[in-house]
Structure formats: C-alpha cells, structure tokens
Structure 1
Amino acid sequence: MKRAIVTLKGRVVGVGFRDRVLEVAERFAVAGSVGNVRDLEALEIDVEGDAAEVDRFVSAVLADPPSGARIDAVEEAEAPLRELQTFTRAPTR
C-alpha cells in the first residue's frame, strides 16, 4: 500500500482539473482527494491504494490534463496511510 501527495503547478486552477482527476479516479482502485491550494496556485492530489495502482493513477492524470491546463512542475511525496475509502473533492485551501 502507498499514499502519495502529488502537487501540480502551472495552469492547473480554473481549468476543470479537479473534475478530470475525479473522473480518472473512478477508473482505478484508489482513494483520496483532490483540491486547489490557493497560496501556491497549485492542485494537490492525496491518493492511496496499492502502490502499482497509485502509480498508474498518477500517470493517467498526468497523461490526460484538461484542455487549457499546463503542468509546469510535479512534486510527489509519500505520506503515512490513512485507510481512506472514497475519492472526493477537497475544499480549496
């Protein structure tokens, strides 16, 4: 099992990226959340599941950004598991 906090920077806010991540999450056995980080003008994806499934999910998100989006930087950090059950939209912080 793996939990990753993935931060995307660039033109990722206001372009439908959270909805795209939620759509992609439906295709994978992962749980977590996606939300905007206003201070950083970034998108944060908190995802956990089988390590290989998390990696495939992140690759799928990066491979198919919404039109109008531009990813300039990707940061990924591992975090302790939280045993989440669903994938949700987190409030903007």
Structure 2
Amino acid sequence: MKRYLMIVSGRVQGVGFRYFVLLIAKKTQVTGTVRNQSNGMVEIMVQGDENQIENFKAQLMKGNGFSRIDDLSTKEVPLVEKEKTFRISY
C-alpha cells in the first residue's frame, strides 16, 4: 500500500473536477480525499496499491471533458491505516 499527495493545476475548479476525481476513485477502489485549494489548484490524497494508483492517475490525466490538467505533482506521504473511503473535503 502507498499514499500520495497529488497537486493538480490547470482548469480544475468550477468544472466538476472533484466529482470526476471521486468517480475515478470509486472505480479504481482507492481511498483518500480531494479538495480545492485557495490558489486555484486541487489537492488529492490517494491511497491504494501501486496498480490501483497508476490506474487512478492514468484516468485522472484524461480529464472529464471540461477540465484541463497543466501539471500534476506527486509526493509519497505516510499511510492512513484506518481510512475506508474516498471523499470530497471542503
């Protein structure tokens, strides 16, 4: 199991991007959170096995038809052992 902090920049706010991320997370069965940042970027915390995370990332980069990802930075962070779901944080 791995956990990553992902910061996404581009046209990712006001275009349904967090809900798109939530759907991908459910589809790939990862856990974590997604939230907008005040600087216009989106923060994603994602946890799962390497295959799940790679699948999540590949689908994320495709976008939802309204969003545009200009940059995605990824940093490994400590696991959250008891996390069971993926949710939108406010």
Q: TM-score, normalised by structure 2?
A: 0.92
**Amino-acid identity (%):** 37
Superposed, 1:3-42 pairs within 5 Å as 3-38=3-38, 40-42=39-41
Q: Give the paired residue count.
A: 89
The match for 2:64 is 66
| Runs of at least 4 residues off by over 6 Å | none
Q: Which amino acid aligns with 2:68?
A: R
Cα RMSD (Å) = 1.0
Q: In 1, distance between residues paired with 2:55 and 2:26? A: 13
Q: Mark the runs of 5 or more structure 1 residues left unpaired by the alignment.
A: none
Matches within 5 A, 1:72-83: 72-83=70-81
Structure-1-length-normalised TM-score: 0.89
Q: Supply the distance in 2 between the matched residues of 1:49 and 1:24 (Cα, whole angstroms).
A: 13
How far 1:24 moved relative to its partner? 0.9
The 2-side partners of 1:20 and 1:49 are apart by 18
Shift of 1:58: 1.3
Shift of 1:76: 0.5
- Cα drift, residue 6 of structure 1: 0.8
